Structure 1
Amino acid sequence: MSDAVTFRPMTETDMDAVLKIEYAAFSHPWTRGIFLDGLKSYEIWLMFEGAQQVGHGVIQVIIDEAHLLNI
């Protein structure tokens, strides 16, 4: 049996775990400052398998449209 996949909004206390994934996944990762700004302006969701964070997504919502900025 596999662990359930769940999602929840990111908070500033999640920053180190998010940056660990970001720096492992991208050759030009977003910085701490970009994510801090993103927490003020965008929706940032975290993905978990069980208790393990396995990903994140940054979404810009404008009226009835959504743009995926980072995954």
Structure 2
Amino acid sequence: MTGQEPPHDNRGDEGPPPPDTGAGMTAVTYLIAGMLVWGGIGWLVDHYVGTPGIFTGIGSVLGIGLGVYLIVRRLGA
């Protein structure tokens, strides 16, 4: 048939990824990083003051709370 084009092959034309790709890993990373950073700061305070892990626990809980805040702020979850 003259003038007809073959069908377009869509297999190689995926386009941009969806906007929420990697959102789960971002959330987990925020939680772990917050806990490690603020827990580490608490550990340093414990080491300096001489307390047996009180500030490490407080820092870890604070880090998780701030991680949740960042998740809600950035990802809108």
| Fold in common (TM above 0.5) | no
Could you say which structure has the higher helix fraction?
2
Q: Which has the larger radius of gyration?
A: 2
Could you say which structure has the higher strand fraction?
1
TM-score normalised to structure 1 length: 0.31
TM-score normalised to structure 2 length: 0.29
